[in-house]
């Protein structure tokens, strides 16, 4: 069993450190690298050249729309797939099926779907969505039931609490059917993943915690008569030597303003997301003096989460050491890795030219 690697498309802007683009505020004029289509094309073309399979493209009010941006990049790339994130509350499952079917035909089958239920009520309410945390997962479960029904290619009826459809269909079944990636660590989220997802994505908690989650989800999926694949979302700082990698992590830490860290942690500590609370627990919100003090497992650094919401850990080390950590996660069931770095263009080359060959030597690519 080999691993699949994906990269990240920075549709909120990019920069040389976490401080430049912390993912905690709306995209602003101060972003060193604006997310114009030419820069995003550079990142996508680099990821394609370096052998990544797909590119996660985020969703939210803090970034550009994933459907439109990636559609524009289809003509600038040839092979790479786009893992388009979207929120079920923002469109109907029938429209989502139509979009996916059209995208597959136009792109030649280069669409993957990342279902983002939404972890924060304040963000959801910007879109007019007033359901609470557990209700959102209930709606996602129904959304995916309808979406999968339409993907089967026959008119589909459904009666649920959130959706009632009659004869729902797209103009044709998508070919190939886009794989459904789904994240969520709460008691409300895990059964939905077991019933509906193809790939469950988790953030970069230490391998023992990830192993427990994989075991639980495998059991839940088996009860549904299904099987799941598993992926992990993290950042990466990989260099020719471990010393160089940790020096970069130290530079990122040294650039952080304590007041900005405190403001970010005040927001993140109030999160409704179980996964986000798990990320905060890794570092405790404390701005340490030495980067190594935030190493929560060999090669796993929690410093990113001091400023950035969502994925808050990074794989840090030499190319061999980063490959060691990937292999460790792989041993507990992780087959896909969705990675990013600062800046996304340069870090894609560090990983693609350094870690990909190391994984290949181990028979993992």
Q: Is 82 helix (H, G, I), strand (E, B) or coil?
A: strand
What is the rounded end-to-end Cα distance, in angstroms, of the chain? 9
Rounded to 5 degrees, φ, ψ at 155 are: -50, 135
pLDDT at 286: 80
Write down the domain spans for the chain: 4-230+330-362
Contact between residue 196 and residue 144 where contact means Cβ atoms under 8 Å apart? yes
Per-residue CA distances from 118 to 23, 88, 216, 227, 283 (Å) = 15, 9, 22, 24, 23
Distance (Å, whole) CA 103 – CA 176: 11
pLDDT per position in the chain (365 positions), as tens?
Answer: 899 999 999 999 999 999 886 555 554 446 789 999 999 999 999 999 999 999 999 999 889 999 999 999 999 999 999 999 999 989 999 999 999 999 999 999 999 999 999 867 888 888 888 899 999 999 999 999 999 999 999 999 999 999 999 999 999 999 999 999 999 999 999 999 999 999 999 999 999 999 999 999 999 999 999 999 999 999 999 999 999 999 999 999 999 999 999 998 988 888 888 889 999 999 988 888 999 999 999 999 999 999 998 999 999 999 999 999 999 999 999 999 999 999 999 999 999 999 999 999 999 99
> pTM value?
0.95
Per-residue CA distances from 145 to 55, 150, 176, 180 (Å) = 25, 9, 18, 12
Distance (Å, whole) CA 194 – CA 304: 29
pLDDT at 268: 87
Smallest CA-to-CA distance from 353 within 327, 308, 323 is with: 323
Burial-class residue 353 by CB neighbours within 10 Å (0-12, 13-18, 19+). middle
Rounded to 5 degrees, φ, ψ at 91 are: -155, 165
pLDDT at 74: 98
Query: What is the third-level CATH fold of 4-230+330-362?
Result: TIM Barrel (3.20.20)
Per-residue CA distances from 130 to 126, 134, 163, 268, 319 (Å) = 9, 12, 16, 20, 45
Could you tell me the two tokens for 143? Answer: 């959304």
Distance (Å, whole) CA 260 – CA 354: 33
Q: Which residues contact 270 (CB under 8 A, 6 or more apart)?
A: none
pLDDT at 288: 86
pLDDT at 122: 84
């Amino acid at each position: 069993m080999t691993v699949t690697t994906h990269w990240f498309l920075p549709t909120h802007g990019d920069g040389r450190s976490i401080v430049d683009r912390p993912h905690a505020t709306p995209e602003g004029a101060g972003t060193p690298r604006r997310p114009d289509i030419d820069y995003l094309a550079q990142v996508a073309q680099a990821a394609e050249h370096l052998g990544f399979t797909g590119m996660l493209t985020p969703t939210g009010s803090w970034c550009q729309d994933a459907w439109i941006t990636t559609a524009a990049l289809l003509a600038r790339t040839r092979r790479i797939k786009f893992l388009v994130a979207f929120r079920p509350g923002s469109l109907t499952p029938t429209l989502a099926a139509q979009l996916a079917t059209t995208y597959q035909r136009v792109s030649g089958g280069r669409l993957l779907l990342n279902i983002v239920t939404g972890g924060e009520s304040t963000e959801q309410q910007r879109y007019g969505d007033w359901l609470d945390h557990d209700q959102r997962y209930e709606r996602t479960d129904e959304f995916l039931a309808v979406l999968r029904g339409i993907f089967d290619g026959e008119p589909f009826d459904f009666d649920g609490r959130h959706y009632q459809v009659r004869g729902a269909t797209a103009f044709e079944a998508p070919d190939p059917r886009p794989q459904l990636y789904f994240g969520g660590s709460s008691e409300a989220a895990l059964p939905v993943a077991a019933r509906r997802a193809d790939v469950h994505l988790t953030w970069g908690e230490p391998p023992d915690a990830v192993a427990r989650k994989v075991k639980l989800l495998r059991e839940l999926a088996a009860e549904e008569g299904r099987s799941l694949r598993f992926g992990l979302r993290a950042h990466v700082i990989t260099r020719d030597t471990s010393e160089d990698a940790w020096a970069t992590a130290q530079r990122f830490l040294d650039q952080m303003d304590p007041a900005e860290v405190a403001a970010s942690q005040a927001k993140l500590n109030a999160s409704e997301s179980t996964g986000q609370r798990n990320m905060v627990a890794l570092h405790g919100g404390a701005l340490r003096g030495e980067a190594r003090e935030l190493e929560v497992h060999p090669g796993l650094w929690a410093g990113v989460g001091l400023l950035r919401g969502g994925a808050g850990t990074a794989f840090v080390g030499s190319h061999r050491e980063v490959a060691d950590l990937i292999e460790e996660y792989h041993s507990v069931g992780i087959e896909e890795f969705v990675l990013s770095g600062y800046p996304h263009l340069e870090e894609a080359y560090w990983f693609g030219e350094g870690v990909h060959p190391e994984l290949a030597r181990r028979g993992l690519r």
